[in-house]
């Protein structure tokens, strides 16, 4: 029985697998962000400028976000960037302000692969004043204003697919010959990483057959955590840990929550198990504890997203699973329900995009730019609502 996977895995796998199906833009193309007075709709004097108003430590921007749009939504000291599922890169100065296509090419319709903002279904990352993106088996970079696209290095020969994301100046990835994570035909049981800003070659950091059935991985400090499917189990997944320092490997539990319903930080794993509730696991003792029981009359599927201020639980009430009828529940870190609101503006596939400072960002369709936001100052006031991101 195939596992009921939740939305993060769906999004992560779509982002990784679509790259093998679409013709992507040339990695060597030059895309200068030319100024054109007639194209003011897509210009912003703030693009490429460092925003020092609320500057955070570099590690905040370079760490992988264990959120729903892993590799697609990027917070940087220069503003926020979003790569749509159609492969176009958008920029917003503050996250809740208008997202503009990262292209000032004169007379460009922003609807073809000739558009300077088109990078394909590539995961994006930030490091040391550059945006990095991966196309097929190549690492590329650009300036923060979208100019000067260039290829940095080729990861391996051939055109096998891969799945990965950027983290602290590295690109971590697995090679998915079968097309996507966990697919029949995958035969490379290595997890690789490569430095993004020099001429070094990829290195193997872990070899284990669990990688062949992996549904996701994440990194916290010097530890790598792997979520793996369990055959014939529709409720749980296995959680493994690997220390890049001690080289120790351990199975932590075979009763963990799904790929879009977990967070691991500071020796504690947090997860939501569908229609059972919130759990925590002590990484050292491997003991799991239910923190809050939670059962929906209409079971559906939920994603749990753990952020600094709140825990967001998104309930998809439809069966069979689709993106319609999403209800956002907002909890504090003591698992008290603070507020809730229905997101009924979904057309095709859409929903949560990211969390930036005082705002929660949504889109009606992941093929287009973010369109809505929630102001966190309204949480718990009785006036929680979605605001339209205006031009």
Q: Which of 70, 69, 90 is nearest to 80 (CA)?
A: 90
Q: Which residue has the tokens 């006031």?
A: 381
User: Does a structural domain hold residue 1?
Assistant: no
pLDDT tens-place string over residues 155-203: 999 989 999 989 989 999 999 999 999 898 999 999 999 999 999 999 9
pLDDT tens-place string over residues 218-228: 888 889 999 99
d(C-alpha 10, C-alpha 7), whole Å: 5
pLDDT at 154: 96
Give DSSP secondary structure letters for 50-112: ---TT---HHHHHSPP-STTTTTEEEETTEEEEE-TTSBEEEESSSSSPPEES---TT--S-S
pLDDT tens-place string over residues 119-167: 988 889 999 999 999 988 999 999 998 889 999 999 999 989 999 989 9
**What's the structural domain count of the chain?**
1
For the four alpha carbons of 224, 225, 227 and 230, in that order, the dihedral sign comes to positive
User: Does a structural domain hold residue 261?
Assistant: yes
278 versus 14: the higher-pLDDT residue is 278
User: Does a structural domain hold residue 127?
Assistant: yes
Is the per-residue pLDDT at 272 higher than 60? yes
User: Does a structural domain hold residue 2?
Assistant: no
User: Does a structural domain hold residue 280?
Assistant: yes
Mean of the pLDDT values across residues 238-263? 91
Specify the CATH number for the domain of residue 277.
2.130.10.150
Host domain of residue 330: 7-388
**What is this structure's pTM?**
0.86
CA angle 50, 51, 56 (to 5 degrees): 105
Q: Which residues contact 40 (CB under 8 A, 6 or more apart)?
A: none
pLDDT tens-place string over residues 302-348: 899 999 899 999 998 876 677 888 999 999 999 999 999 999 999 88
């Amino acid at each position: 029985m195939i596992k009921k996977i939740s939305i993060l895995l769906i999004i992560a796998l779509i982002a990784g697998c679509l790259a093998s199906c679409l013709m992507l833009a040339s990695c060597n193309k030059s895309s200068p962000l030319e100024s054109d007075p007639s194209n003011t709709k897509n210009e912003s004097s703030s693009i490429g400028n460092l925003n020092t108003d609320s500057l955070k430590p570099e590690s905040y921007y370079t760490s992988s976000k264990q959120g729903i749009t892993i590799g697609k939504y990027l917070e940087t000291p220069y503003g926020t960037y979003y790569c749509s599922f159609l492969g176009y890169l958008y920029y917003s100065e503050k996250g809740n302000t208008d997202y503009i296509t990262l292209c000032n090419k004169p007379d460009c319709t922003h609807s073809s692969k000739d558009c300077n903002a088109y990078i394909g279904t590539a995961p994006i990352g930030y490091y040391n004043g550059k945006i990095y993106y991966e196309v097929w088996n190549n690492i590329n970079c650009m300036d923060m204003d979208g100019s000067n696209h260039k290829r940095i290095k080729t990861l391996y020969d051939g055109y096998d697919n891969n799945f990965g994301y950027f983290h602290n100046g590295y690109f971590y990835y697995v090679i998915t010959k079968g097309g996507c994570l966990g697919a029949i035909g995958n035969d490379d049981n290595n997890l690789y990483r490569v430095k993004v800003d020099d001429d070094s070659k990829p290195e193997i950091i872990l070899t284990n057959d669990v990688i062949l059935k992996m549904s996701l991985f994440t990194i916290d400090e010097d530890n790598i955590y792997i979520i793996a499917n369990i055959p014939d189990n529709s409720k749980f997944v296995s959680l493994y840990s690997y220390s890049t320092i001690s080289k120790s490997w351990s199975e932590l539990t075979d009763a963990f929550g799904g790929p879009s319903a977990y967070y691991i930080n500071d020796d504690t794993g947090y997860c939501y198990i569908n229609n059972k509730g919130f759990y925590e696991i002590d990484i050292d003792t491997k003991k799991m504890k239910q923190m809050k029981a939670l059962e929906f009359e209409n079971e559906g599927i939920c994603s749990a997203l753990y952020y600094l201020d709140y825990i967001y639980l998104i309930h998809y009430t439809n069966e069979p699973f689709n993106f319609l009828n999403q209800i956002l529940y907002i909890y504090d870190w003591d698992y008290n329900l603070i507020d809730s609101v229905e997101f009924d503006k979904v057309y095709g596939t859409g929903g949560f995009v990211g969390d930036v400072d005082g705002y929660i960002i949504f889109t009606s369709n992941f093929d287009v730019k973010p369109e809505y936001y929630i102001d966190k100052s309204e949480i718990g006031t009785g006036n929680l609502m979605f605001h339209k991101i205006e031009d």
